[in-house]
Structures are given as structure tokens and as C-alpha cells.
Structure 1
């Protein structure tokens, strides 16, 4: 029996961290241990069968467990969530949703609950998308230029670590080690140093 912790993450490091904490807290209370963490960075708009969740279910065996932080992490639409539930039920795999403290076991009650939660998440996404489009259209009509201005943006991702990075460099710490300390990739650090013209 394998216990999978499925994380569908964006490029935001904090997003992955929050999901992981939520899943770990849930599993500790449920006595689910020896977790195998699977991170999926593919857009939720693609078919669930093309994502890591599809691969997990394809190779899953009866008695396996899949834990997700939220129902919206399984699929971007109610239909996707219900399809995943159906395949999981057919294979004897239980799907746990940490945020709602629930188990999707293929029963009528869990199907109804999953449908409601999936619809709520889908509607919320559509409302956010509609509001964003309306706000952008209004700004465009008001003569505001949209998109990133030409040239260098005023604020870069690593600017908040500027003092920390320069102190590390002055102490002779190599760039790869610094990247690890501030939790970014070495290439991101190199690009930031080049754009900020920091040569120490």
C-alpha cells in the first residue's frame, strides 16, 4: 500500500509549502504515514490524465491512498474531479482532501460533497477571471498602458534579499551556496546580480 501526497503547485514557492503543511497536518491526525510526495507543476487546464495525478491513478493498486490539500488541486473543473473520483473508486483507491477533512470513497454522499466543492471552486475561478478582465478593460479605456513597461522593472524577485546577498558575497560565500540559503535557483541569482550590476 502506498500513501501519495499530491501537490499541484504554481511557481510560487510559498504555495507548495502551504499545501505540504496542510497535507502533513491532516495525515498526522489521520495516522497516515510514509508519504510519497508528488509535485505537479503542469497547468490545471490540461487533462488530468496528462498530469501526475493521472500517472498515480494509472499505477495505483487497491488500498493505496491519495491525499490532496484542496479539492481544486485535483482538477480545474467539477467534471475532472468526478472523473478522478470514479477511476479511484474503481481501483479501490481512497482520495483524501485535507482542507475539508474528508474522504472521497465513491459513496453517494462523498460524490455530492465533491460536486458542490468542485462547483464552488470553479465558479470562484470564473468570477475572479471575469473581474480581472473587466478591470483590465476599464484601465485600457481610461488610457492606462497595460503590461510590463519597456526596460527593466522597478522591483525584482530577489530585491528583498539584497542586503542579505551582498553580505554573503562580502564574506566570500559562493553563489550556489547563497542561492540555497535564500531558496532560489542559482540561475535566478546570477540573472539578478547581472541586472542589478552587483559584482563582488
Structure 2
């Protein structure tokens, strides 16, 4: 059996048509008759599972054709996973645009291993770059992240004038005001200190 798979990551109909045309030209050139077409869209885990199930539904010697390797997934580690399933099940995979052919042979396994290695290196490089950027930012004295309670304080800003008047009323406590405005007591006290008392 020969099946073709089309995947779009947006609602762009043209992308689907281009993929189909690419696959049809390849099939015609190599005298292949496509028995079934599979189409899906999106990059979520459910769609990744769909293509995996398509591959697992194929038998030894069957063929899967895709327009380009990125149509398997947007993540290298997932591409690697799907390639290895094809190789293990002895399903022939053609990725037309790149000219890749994956079979159960040493060349295909080497290429699949390379994809996996690149994926691991990419993941580590991203991690290293992120840590270095954070360290550099900290070394400049910049505090990272949103200050604790800042969201609650922002919520109080529109009521600043009301709060100023209310805290002068000796019959009401900070705790009661914090409960009324639905913020923590610590955030309320900080708000009063930073936005109310400083303007008196």
C-alpha cells in the first residue's frame, strides 16, 4: 500500500494544495500509485498521534510519502521518533522536497540518528543560551520575574484615592480593607507604603 500524508499548521488552503501537487508529481515520476491520502492540521499532540497511528497501521513494505520532513512534526525529537517507527516497521518513507528516503538499512538509520543528535544538541544549546542570558541579566543587577504581589497591587491602583481616605478611618483595619479589595494583607500594606503614604 502507498499512502500520502498532508499536514498544514495553519488554515492556509494553498499549503495543502502545494503539498498534494508536490506528492502527486513525485508519485508520477516514480510510477507510484497512491492508494490513500491522509490530511490533518495543527501541531498539537493529538495530531502527532494521528500520523503515528497511520504509520503503525502500515505493513512491512508499505510506503508513506510526505511533501517535506517538517510535515511529520515541528519538533526534531518527534520527527526522530516517527522516523524510527518507520524504519523498525520496514515502512518506506519518502520526504519529497529534501529527497530523503528512509528504509530499513544502515544509511536510513544513520540519517535518523543524525536527526536525533541534532535534536539533542539543539535542546542543549537552547538551555545553555537561556542560562547564560539569565546570568548576564542578573549580573547587571536586574531582578528577573514579576515582583511578588505586583498583580494584586496593580488591581488596587484605580482605588488609590478611595484607599487613602479609608485608611484614615480609625474604625477600619488594613486586614478588613485587604479582604474587601480581595488582595493579600501583605500586598495591601505594600501598596499603602509605596503608593499612598509616599504622597501624603
What's the TM-score once normalised by structure 1's chain length? 0.52
| Paired residues of 1:7 and 1:16 also in contact (CA < 8 A) | yes
Cα deviation, 1:171-190, whole Å, max 9, x if unaligned, reads xxxxxxxxxxxxxxxxxxxx
What are the within-5 Å matches in structure 2 for residues 58-97 of structure 1? 58-97=56-95
Aligned equivalent of 1:15: 15
| Paired residues of 1:72 and 1:118 also in contact (CA < 8 A) | no
Aligned equivalent of 1:159: none
CA change 1:60–1:102 in 2 (3 A) is: same
CA change 1:26–1:68 in 2 (3 A) is: same
CA change 1:118–1:5 in 2 (3 A) is: farther
Aligned equivalent of 2:32: 32
Superposition deviation, residue 34 in structure 1: 3.2
Superposition deviation, residue 79 in structure 1: 1.4
Root mean square deviation, CA, Å: 2.7
CA change 1:34–1:87 in 2 (3 A) is: same
Aligned equivalent of 2:3: 4
Instruction: Give the distance between the partners of 1:44 and 1:80, measured in 2 at CA.
Output: 11
What are the within-5 Å matches in structure 2 for residues 116-195 of structure 1? none
CA change 1:107–1:79 in 2 (3 A) is: farther
Instruction: Give the distance between the partners of 1:3 and 1:39, measured in 2 at CA.
Output: 15
CA change 1:119–1:73 in 2 (3 A) is: farther
